[in-house]
Amino acid sequence: MKKQIVIAALSLSAIALGTNQVLAQNSGQVSKSVNIILADVIAMDIGTAASEGTVDFNYRSTKDYNSSKNVTVPNSLVIISSKNFDVKVKSEGTHFVNGANVIPVDILQVKAIPGGSLVGTLNEVTLSTTDQVLVSNASLGAKQSLNIDYSISAEKASKVLLGKPQGTYTQKITYTATAL
C-alpha cells in the first residue's frame, strides 16, 4: 500500500509539474507593428450654396440699376486639407452669356468674408479668367467653411448692365484649393 501511495503521490506531482509546464508552453508573447500611413489630402465641396450652387442678381427696376447689389453665401465652400492652402477663383469664360448677348465678367467682385471657420488672409478680387487668390495661407483642417460675398457696384450696373437685352446671363466660376 505504501508503494501505491508513493506512486499516487509521484503521479500527482508529475501531473502538477506537467500542468505547469503545459501552462508555460501555452502562454507566450508576440509583438506586432501597427502602421499609420498618411497621405496629403485636399478636397473642396459646395457647402450651403444658394439655389443649389447658383447665385442670382435680379435687376427689375430703376432702383436696382442705381444701387449696389450683394449676394452673400454663408458656408459657400467646405474644405479639408492636411496642409496650409490657398483658395483661388476664376471664371471659365470672359463674359456672362445669354445667346449672342454678353456682359464682361469683370463686372463681378468676389470677396471672402469673415464668419466661416476657415482661417487665412481673406481677399476681394475682380472676376477674370485668370486664377486669383481669394484666400491665402489658410490653415490646415477638416470641414472648414468659407463665406463668400458676390457684388456688382451701382456704377457698373448703370454703365454696363443698363441697355442690355433682358434675359439670364450665365457664367461658371471655378474655385480651386491648392496646398502650399
pLDDT in tens, 119-164: 999 999 999 999 999 999 999 999 999 999 999 999 999 999 999 9
Query: In what helix (H) or strand (E) does residue 139 lie, and over which residues does it extend?
Result: none
pLDDT in tens, 39-67: 888 888 876 544 467 899 999 999 999 99
d(C-alpha 125, C-alpha 106), whole Å: 9
d(C-alpha 145, C-alpha 161), whole Å: 32
**pTM of structure:** 0.78
Return phi, psi of residue 19, to 5°.
-65, -45
d(C-alpha 73, C-alpha 119), whole Å: 17
